[in-house]
Amino acid sequence: MSFQLPPPPPSEYAAVPASRTGERPRLGRVALLAVLLSVIAGFAGGVIATQLDQVSSDSGDEAYTQVTAAPVVSDAQDDDASAVARVAQRLANSVVTISSDVQNGLSEGEATGTGVVVTSDGEILTNAHVVDGATEVRVRFAGDTEPVVARVLAVDAGNDLALLKVNATNLVVATFAKPGSVRVGDQAVAIGYALALDGGPSVTTGIVSALKRTIFTDSGALNSLIQTDAAISSGNSGGPLANMRGEVIGINTAVARGDMNSAANNIGFAISVDEVLAVLQQLRDQAAGTTREEGFLGVSLEARTDGGVGSIIGTVQPDSPADTAGIQVGDIVLAVDGEPVNGQAGLVAAIRDQNPGDTISIDLVRDGERLTVTATLVARPKE
């Protein structure tokens, strides 16, 4: 089955890039930020000075009496911490910063991302794009001053996940939420080393804005994504999106970027826990030397141009699982196993994680009528 990816939609989606250092353009941006901050500070100082002069001139010759008092100090205890603070505390020792020496062509630099501890003996999950092109990967745990070298055990670029391993014991393991437990409107907390700033990870909060999103990045299609309005920035890649119980509901991976024709604000994406747990096992199998075969359906798709959802079946290979299931040219594919199909690559993403022998249900529209067919996948033919 071969597909041609469509051009990107008006709002482009981008994998959240790891924060990179050692490059002159970044220094320029830092310098510009410093100038802007100084201008703002200078402006604020001028306003304050003007206000003080105005108060002084209006007060005449009246004597000024300074009143002093002891500052008010809160007596709140740790058990009064906000729900977001408790989530951050629960995950503090399970979130790590990842530094990679990256070489892309003649360019060299350091990339910084985030990872989540998944086993007490050193397995760490992160985004594949965090370690892409890395010649060395290092991990630093909360409270430590020195990093430790990590091995990249396995990478799934299609699902943008990678499994690392460090020599360690008694690590604090993150707890993952039960698959299927995430709901639209749930509060969410994103944790990660945004912009590689000094100190601990950044914590932002928002809600689950949508479920089962499919987007297109430079690496292809990502499906089964959680959309959130919690702020996600460069360096957050590979970090957890958590619920208010401190359970990981997703791995932060991408943000929406506006262009000249559309705006995109507070739209971030995380790989859902349902997908993460399935791919994690596949990564472990890959690390153990097991070669995984992908499922194959046997169709090509065409994009809809009438404003409707789904994709149109362009061709059906004879004697393929699609042919056996009764799928016809012109059928409109809406979903696979309940996963919406958006664009040509949506179907690729929907069946990519299926195995040969798996039976999938496909929601179709044919001649204005909706129907569901089942297809049993086979192994993808060798190219």
What are the average pLDDT values for consecutive 10-residue runs of the chain, which has 383 residues?
37 60 41 36 38 43 56 60 89 94 78 93 95 92 91 93 95 94 96 82 95 81 91 91 96 85 82 94 92 85 84 92 94 88 72 86 94 93 71
Query: DSSP code of 119?
Result: S
CA–CA separation, 140 and 26 (whole Å) = 23
Query: DSSP code of 381?
Result: P
Query: Which of these, 199, 116, 129, lies nearest to 159 by C-alpha position?
Result: 129
Strand 369-376 with 359-366, pairing: antiparallel
Q: How far is CA 377 from CA 1, 85, 123, 322, 352, in A?
A: 12, 46, 32, 8, 11
Residue appearing with tokens 């791995």: 251
For residue 195, give the 3-state DSSP assignment: helix
User: Which residue type occupies 216?
Assistant: F
Q: How far is CA 315 from CA 9, 118, 321, in A?
A: 24, 42, 13
Where along the chain do its domains lie? 84-165, 295-379
CA–CA separation, 373 and 351 (whole Å) = 15
pLDDT of 350: 77
| 160-200 residue pLDDT tens | 999 999 999 999 999 999 999 999 999 999 999 988 777 78
Record the tokens describing residue 189, joined without a space.
């907390």
pLDDT of 343: 64
Residue appearing with tokens 């007596």: 75
- Which one from 19, 94, 129, 202 is the annotated catalytic residue? 129
User: Which residue type occupies 331?
Assistant: D
CA–CA separation, 326 and 374 (whole Å) = 9
Q: How many CA atoms lie within 13 A of 254 on its CB side?
A: 31
- The CATH class of 84-165 is mainly beta
Q: What is the mean pLDDT of the chain?
A: 80
- Which one from 237, 272, 311, 320 is the annotated catalytic residue? 237
Active site residue 160: yes
Q: How far is CA 81 from CA 94, 205, 312, in A?
A: 20, 15, 52
pLDDT of 13: 60
- Which one from 160, 274, 331, 353 is the annotated catalytic residue? 160
Active site residue 75: no
CA–CA separation, 116 and 252 (whole Å) = 11
Contact 316, 327 (CB under 8 A): yes
For residue 241, give the 3-state DSSP assignment: strand
Indicate yes or no: pTM above 0.85.
Answer: no
- Compute the chain's Rg from CA coordinates: 25
CA–CA separation, 158 and 27 (whole Å) = 32
Active site residue 129: yes
What topology does CATH give the domain 295-379? Pdz3 Domain (2.30.42)
